[in-house]
Amino acid sequence: MTEGSMNQNMSDDLPEELKDTVTLTTVDAAVEFLTKLIDPIANWARSNAVWPLTFGTSCCAIEMMHVGMSKFDISRFGSEVFRATPRQADLILTAGTITRKMAPALITLYEQLPEPKYVIAMGACTVTGGMFNDSYSVVQGVDRIIPVDVYLPGCPPRPEGILDALLKLQQKIRTESYNERRKRKYPQSAVRQVDYDTGRPVEDLVQETNFDTALALGLEKIQ
Amino acid sequence: MVTELTTSGLKTDEMIINMGPQHPATHGVLRLIVTLDGEIVKHTEPVLGHLHRAQEWQGQVRTWFQYQALIDRVDYLSGMFTSWALCRAAEDIDGTEVPEKAEWLRVLVSEMNRISSHLLWLGTYLIDLGAMFGFPFYPFRERDKLLTLFEEIAGQRMMFNYIRVGGVMREPKADWYKRVENFTKEFPDRVDEYEAIVTQNPIFLKRTKV
Amino acid sequence: MTEEKPSDKPEGKPEEAKPAPEPAEKPAAKPTAEKPAAPAVKPAAPAAHGAAAAPAEPPKPLEPGQFGQFLKEHGIQSTRLADSSRGVETILLDGDKLDAAMRLLRHSPEIALNYLVTVSGVDNTDSFDSVYVLWSYSNNNELIVKVRIKKSDVKEDGLPMVPSISPFWKAADWHERETFDLVGIRYLGHPYLRRILNPWDWEGYPLRKDYKQLVDALNDRNPHSMR
């Protein structure tokens, strides 16, 4: 019996007329109360120190380098260091096209980031597939494999654009509650779940997508 | 140093390590499976293809004009060169003659692109060796000046789409040439500055000299 | 598409931005429909276009050029194809003569074609081509060698086979792997022939004309795409 289930049991069993008075009896309610006090400060602190991961695949990586340099300084917004290991970062700025061969690596990186983690999909290739719209090896938008918080269009986006996306992300961090996030209350599931080794979607979703695409493209059923 | 340890009786093993696709030293995606003996690389097998975006296939199904937009991304550090190659091929087949001013402009912007690409090489090479100033500070300052000049002439900092079949996209204003000339006047001093920081640096020498 | 189309161009990959420009591989069925409206189009030179009037009688075989002569002296028969649009000599060899011819061309002191620019592959409608572009630094000229395998010669579910030159010419190693990956020409004698650009378990050869790619949840967006 974990702490979570114990809390739920206790709060469910409280009779109606006691719910107003018994405010601090459950651990869960205590945590909620404390986080209401601490949230503004904690969120302010977290939003001003978002450390990105050095994840640059292609052309957008060059603009990411430019945003790290002295003219469009990203460290004045808190992203002082770009961490090389995902264990120490809290933002993936997916800069560059994600291909099917690279998709398992990106999913592994995303899974290795500790919570709370954020993703900014940078550039047209990661937002929707971009100009590689009909290529056989490009994942059409990184939100098919990992959940995305901010979409940043452009090919490549200007460094000021990247800073704008970072500011929007900071606004988002300031208005969310970490407790809600911990309980997975935000709908942040990825659009598709993908197998780690091959980069292909898991089997129960393939049938569904086969059906749709066969209709849409007028083809006979694949496999 | 490794051989001294081995001859003194210490048994060493070779390690097989994966420098995966995401690594700050790979500059983009390159996966290296290296066999290491201490710090010496005995054998490596590169695994490519993490950025295979099907550009050859897109070139097959698109027309020449449509592919113009995609060719800048093939080698994104030298977009002018690749689009010049595409346009020159189309002109050779067609027999189109390019006006002389356009040829000179092509040479000018391509050489500026070459300088900016080499500045990026310098920055990343130095940061691979541990010199922190390489990546964020000095070479990128010059590169940013060049990208501002490109933005004035082509409209975009990086994917220029400037060299077209039969010439270039448009002619720059008269004072653009003056700005380029100012850049060329001050650039040799910058190169001296980089050289002063790098060439006699004992760490650089120790890490690169055999 | 007949073999003697005068606009046989040097096929190459657009991603190799070498000093000799190499055009993107053009599909065989659309020769001049894509002539773009360039600002100063002169009436094109007669030798450099495609889809001119189809010849009424079979065209005469072309005279062997400098390299063809050289190979003939050493006992290797080659057919000369039409020059590329920049005037580069193009010859067609048999698969079993390829090894000997390449060694000759590379090691002979007066020919000295010792720079292999690229190895690529073409899927014509009825045959596969394996194209080798050679360049000589000392003489400043180049040569294009093609090896043609007819599709009727290829077994069912098999691949066209061409002997590999990578045992003695290391530059061809990855180029042949790329051609195997994208066009599906199998190089016999290659030390480690496996897919280089696509994932190792990819099915199909993308640059073939009849390639229909897998559409799944990762790339199912565009109903008007040309896949």
Taking the Cβ of residue A66 and every Cβ of chain B, the question of whether any pair is shorter than 8 Å is answered with: yes
Do B65 and C39 count as a contact with CB atoms less than 8 A apart?
no
Picking from B78, B142, B153, B139, the residue whose alpha carbon sits closest to that of residue B110 is: B78
Distance from CA of B91 to the nearest CA of C (A): 9
- Nearest CB to C45 within list B49, B57, B95: B95
Please, is C205 exposed, middle or buried when counting C-beta atoms within 10 Å of its C-beta (0-12, 13-18, 19+)?
A: buried
Out of C21, C34, C38, name the one closest to residue B85 (CB).
C21
- Enumerate the domain spans of chain B: 2-47, 55-208
Residue A16 lies in a domain: no
What six digits make up the tokens of B56?
């050859």
Is residue A112 included in any domain, yes or no?
Answer: yes
A222 and A122 in a common domain: no
pLDDT in tens, A106-115: 988 988 888 8
For residue range C29-80, what is the model confidence (pLDDT) as tens digits? 333 333 333 333 344 334 334 434 444 566 666 777 788 788 888 888 888 8
CB C188 within 8 A of CB C158: no
Do the strands B167-168 and C186-188 form a parallel or antiparallel pair, or are they unpaired? unpaired
Q: For residue A76, give its domain range.
A: 1-9+21-189
Kindly report the nearest CA distance between residue B44 and chain A, in angstroms: 20
Are A213 and A122 found together in one domain? no
- Is residue B190 within 8 A of residue B142, CB to CB? The reply is yes
State the nearest Cα–Cα gap between B81 and chain A, in angstroms. Answer: 15
Same domain? For A70 and A109 the reply is yes
**Which A positions 78-137 lie with beta carbon below 8 A of chain B?**
82, 84, 96-97, 99, 101-102, 105-106, 109, 131-132, 134-137
The string of pLDDT tens digits covering residues A144-187 is 888 888 899 998 999 999 999 999 999 888 888 777 776 665 55
Q: How many C-beta neighbours within 10 Å does residue B116 have?
A: 25
Contact criterion met (CB below 8 Å) for B124 and A61: no
Which subunits count as partners of chain B given 3+ CB pairs below 8 Å? A, C
Chain C residues in contact with A201 by the CB 8 A cut-off are 216-218
- The enclosing domain of A131 has a CATH number of 3.40.50.12280
| A28 and A58 housed in the same domain | yes
- The CB density around residue C2, as the number of other CB atoms within 10 Å, is 10
Domain count of chain A?
Answer: 2
| A201/C214 CB distance under 8 A | no
CATH of B55-208, one of 1.20.120.530, 1.10.645.10, 1.20.1090.10, 3.40.50.1110: 1.10.645.10
Q: What confidence score (pLDDT) does residue A217 get?
A: 57
Is B75 an 8 Å CB contact of chain C? Answer: yes
- Note whether A146 contacts C: Cβ–Cβ < 8 A: no
- Chain B contact set for A56 (CB, 8 A): 27-28
- pTM of this prediction? 0.76
| pLDDT, one tens digit for every residue, chain B (210 residues) | 455 555 566 777 889 998 888 887 767 788 999 999 888 889 999 988 899 998 988 888 888 888 998 998 998 899 999 999 999 989 988 888 999 999 999 999 999 999 999 999 988 888 888 777 766 688 888 899 999 999 999 988 988 889 999 899 999 998 999 999 999 999 999 999 888 888 888 888 888 887
CA C9 to chain centroid: 9
Say if residue A100 is in the same domain as residue A203.
no
Q: Look at B77 and A132 and tell me if their CB atoms are within 8 Å.
A: no
Which residues share a beta bridge with A31?
Answer: none
Could you give all domains of chain C from N- to C-terminal order, each with its CATH number?
A: 58-188 (3.30.460.80)
> Phi and psi of C193, rounded to 5°?
-85, 105
Cβ of B60 and C44 within 8 Å?
Answer: no
Report the residue of C32, C84, C85 to disrupt the B interface, i.e. the one with the largest count of B CBs within 10 Å: C85
Q: Which residues pair with C79 in a beta bridge?
A: C92
A59 and A118 share one domain: yes
Give how far B30 is from chain A: nearest CA, Å. Answer: 9
ipTM comes to 0.85
Q: What is the DSSP letter of A87?
A: G
